[in-house]
A and B are shown apart, each in its own frame.
Chain A
Amino acid sequence: MATEGLHENETLASLKSEAESLKGKLEEERAKLHDVELHQVAERVEALGQFVMKTRRTLKGHGNKVLCMDWCKDKRRIVSSSQDGKVIVWDSFTTNKEHAVTMPCTWVMACAYAPSGCAIACGGLDNKCSVYPLTFEKNENMAAKKKSVAMHTNYLSACSFTNSDMQILTASGDGTCALWDVESGQLLQSFHGHGADVLCLDLAPSETGNTFVSGGCDKKAMVWDMRTGQCVQSFETHDSDINSVRYYPSGDAFASGSDDATCRLYDLRADREVAIYSKESIIFGASSVDFSLSGRLLFAGYNDYTINVWDVLKGSRVSILFGHENRVSTLRVSPDGTAFCSGSWDHTLRIWA
């Protein structure tokens, strides 16, 4: 009925404005305990000296844009995926390709290495996340052993194994994240709360291993309880899509990279943003971020083909790395912190040390 419809619209609008005003009050609460800035506290920390990092390996072999990569626990192997559907496993130390599989879809935006080193997961425009056991058998047909695990209603943007090969966490363009049992494909938990596409996620390194953070097109970064599916903390200070989130090594904070050309640091105990990493000359979005082992450096890959290195504590930019000839789409530091790998739309991956 016409009058009922009107009533519903009024309630929706009033709910929306109530939510907005509560958010404002929450920001006030958060601000009350903010008694000092990070760069002030960091004044007594020694400044970083001359910083030299070079490309030590260039991995050529993808025929199209590289979209995602992940390290194996053995500190030298990596898996990478690209726009043309190819997923390649490399020993990046020797630059040899060890496995290759072609997915039935294009834009494979997510890939992950299993903790055991025996399998990889990947997905993209097929809306799924599939697991491929890695085998060296003769007449190997990796595609035959493929296991379809996750099913979303839109593109897969990110995936990660938890502490074992048996569980996968996924993020999707359908606005949700989900936890899956690999063996059965069963959905163990789903995470609703983002108001738009979820683009990235990262598992917390905490002792109790119960939470993860996700970032999305709604400009929000959300921290989730894996057991209950509830959002436990939420941060909304970016001006645009959040492309990448990564925990600080202690687990007490996480960094984000966004299309608004800034990276930011959020402290979980203070429950607020504590640093912004930006420069007037940097106007392109940050697509991918990761910390060095000690968390002192933040490496960020940008859509302007460069990688900027930030001093996390002092907030200044330490260095800018040139080399890629198109967008840097993915960046991860190796498990033992000896190097980091960047993947780009220029079809290559580079190892920097």
Chain B
Amino acid sequence: MPCLSKMERMIVSMQDPDMGIKMRNQRLLITVIPHAMTGNDIVEWLIQKYGISEEESLHLGNLIVKHGYIYPLKDPRSLVLRADESPYRFQTPYFWTSTKWPATELDYAIYLAKKNIRKQGDLIEHEKDNYNLLHKRINHTWDFVVMQAREQLRAAKQRRKGDRIVIDCQEQAYWLVNRPPPGAPNVLEQGPERRNCHTTRVQLNMDYYKREIEYCRKAMARTRVKSSICLEGYIKFNEQYVPHDPIMSGCLPSNPWITDDTTYWAMNAPTVTTPTKLRVERWGFNFSELINDPLGRAQLLEFLKKEFSAENLSFWEACEELRYGEQSRIAEIVDSIYQQFLAPGATRWVNIDSKTMERTLEGIKTPHRYVMDDAQMHIYMLMKKDSYPRFLKSDLYKNLLAEAVIPPETKKRVFPFMRKQRHSSPSPALLLPAGDAEEKSRSPSTAPVPEEES
């Protein structure tokens, strides 16, 4: 776990004699514990060192304590950081999570056995359960366990009381992290095992390295763009899109999640009579904004009809259906495209250059999903470079801009605690009866999604 080594580095710098936390003796009832600090000390140090807020510092400090690198002297069963005068101490590296991980059953058994002897059988419930479980499971070594436990207890009696308390706290903190009581979060839980490169399921064999070498050679030869040019692109994109970013700039009339008012969604539904100004403006950013918006695409179609090139859009849509359609229908779709758009005398014949046409007609003899790619790209570029600029200058588009609405901002509610009722909306899965649902799911995701109730 890379976070543990980072945490350890943090801990080490916290203990730096010059820049670390100032430690002192802390009183615990009648005993004096050396080299301790208060919760406040920890929080303050984190704030100073990392330039973070108190909230973040407390959160980070709590994680350090939860992972057992710092433990509380007062109320030691609760691995929590309190931003007050409560005393804390650094865990000894011997007990660091990364040092002794995973904790062994044997060690846990010895620990419980020691506790059992000291408390004369009066263990906490879950520790009692674990003790009995272990007794059954590693019964064959139980004599060893008890012997070790007795030996460690005897050695402990020879230490000063202050040291004894400290070592007990250290050990207890370690086991709270490695064997958390039921209900407490297990910070060491990782999720399903991942293999890294050292124990990989992928064979790092000769073929693998040959592929890497091949890739590197190709990559060396590729054209790259200067950073200054690429990065300039982000600045431009940012300028254009920030006003359209609801989280950055808000949205009119209001953000539904904040005011519970779904008007914003109703006004921006896939098909509305009058689109909003922001939406129509966005169609002017680039061709994909126009063609990927169902309403924009419908307007594009109207425009192309006027220019007698509507078949281009239909052809492009049919090619999308092929690209993203069912494997079993490929031959059928290819044929349908050919009949409608490519065959000599076809009703909606598309104007592709002869080379591409030739290649495509040859290709459809063995139809596959990508057989129309070249033709589709040609037509897409035609629309983008030729029709689209004219669309933007057209009366059609100018009228759309002029008639587009700017929703008025929703006035803040006078009584904000009276929450507006949250209306449900019909699920997209409900739109059609079961049989038609299959058909609907066949077409690429240009199908309109249901309008919201306002």
Contacts and interface: CB of A to CB of B under 8 A. Distances in A.
A288 interface: no
Given A41-B232, A322-B55, A164 B241 contact: no
Contacts of B445: 73, 115-116, 163-165
Interface in A320-353: 320, 322, 325-326, 333, 336-340, 351, 353
Interface stretch (B93-101, B196-204, B301-309, B352-360): B196-204
Contacts of B228: 35-36, 41
B201 A166 contact: no
Contacts of B232: 41
Counting chain B CB atoms within 10 Å of each CB, which of A117, A119, A137 scores highest?
A117
Contact of B262 (A23, A93, A98, A351): A93
B247 A116 contact: no
Interface in B364-378: 369-370, 373, 377
A94 B195 contact: no
B52 A116 contact: no
Contacts of A154: 201
A19 B212 contact: yes
Interface stretch (B29-37, B117-125, B170-178, B425-433): B425-433
Contact of A283 (B3, B195, B265, B442): B3
A6 interface: no
A117 B251 contact: no
Given A163-B320, A197-B194, A281 B56 contact: yes
Contacts of B52: 281
Contact of B441 (A16, A109, A166): A166
B181 interface: no
A12 B249 CA distance: 56
Contacts of A227: 370, 373
A118 B324 contact: no
B65 to A, nearest CB: 13
Chain A at the B interface: SS class: loop
Interface string A111-140: 000111111000001000000011111000
B144 interface: no
Contacts of B46: 281
B133 interface: no
Contact of A233 (B205, B219, B324): B219
B141 interface: no
Counting chain B CB atoms within 10 Å of each CB, which of A42, A305, A337 scores highest?
A337
B197 A163 contact: no
Contacts of B191: 107
Interface string B240-278: 011011111001000111100010110010000000000
Contacts of B443: 116, 164
A305 B325 CA distance: 41
A279 to B, nearest CB: 7
A164 B288 contact: no
Contacts of B7: 283
Given A12-B209, A26-B216, A165 B442 contact: yes
B158 interface: no
Contacts of B449: 72-74, 117
Contacts of A267: 227, 230-231
A338 B235 contact: no
A250 B237 contact: yes
A74 B448 CA distance: 9
Interface residues on A, range: 35 or more
A37 B3 CA distance: 28
Given A56-B258, A57-B257, A304-B63, A94 B235 contact: no
Interface in B395-432: 422-425, 427-430
Nearest to B52: A281
B85 interface: no
A305 B427 CA distance: 32
Given A107-B191, A118-B441, A353 B233 contact: no
Contacts of B104: none
Contacts of B192: 107, 109, 125, 155, 173
A136 B231 contact: no
A137 B430 CA distance: 9
B206 A12 contact: yes
B224 interface: yes
Contact of B2 (A188, A231, A260, A272): A260
B288 A207 contact: yes
Contact of A249 (B56, B185, B241): B241
Interface string B25-57: 000000000000000000000100110110110
B60 interface: yes
A91 B447 CA distance: 20
Contacts of A271: 219, 222, 224
B215 A231 contact: yes
A190 interface: no
Contacts of A294: 237-238, 241-242, 244-245, 248
Nearest to B237: A250
A15 B227 contact: no
B326 interface: yes
Interface in A1-59: 8, 11-12, 15-16, 18-19, 22-23, 25-26, 29-30, 33-38, 41-42, 44-45, 48, 53, 56-57
24 contacts: A33-B227, A57-B257, A76-B452, A94-B423, A98-B427, A115-B447, A116-B428, A116-B445, A118-B441, A135-B429, A166-B441, A175-B201, A184-B327, A194-B202, A197-B195, A207-B287, A231-B215, A241-B194, A252-B234, A281-B50, A293-B244, A296-B248, A304-B60, A304-B63
The 9 closest A-B pairs by CB, nearest first: A117-B428, A115-B445, A294-B245, A294-B241, A165-B441, A164-B324, A22-B216, A353-B257, A175-B202
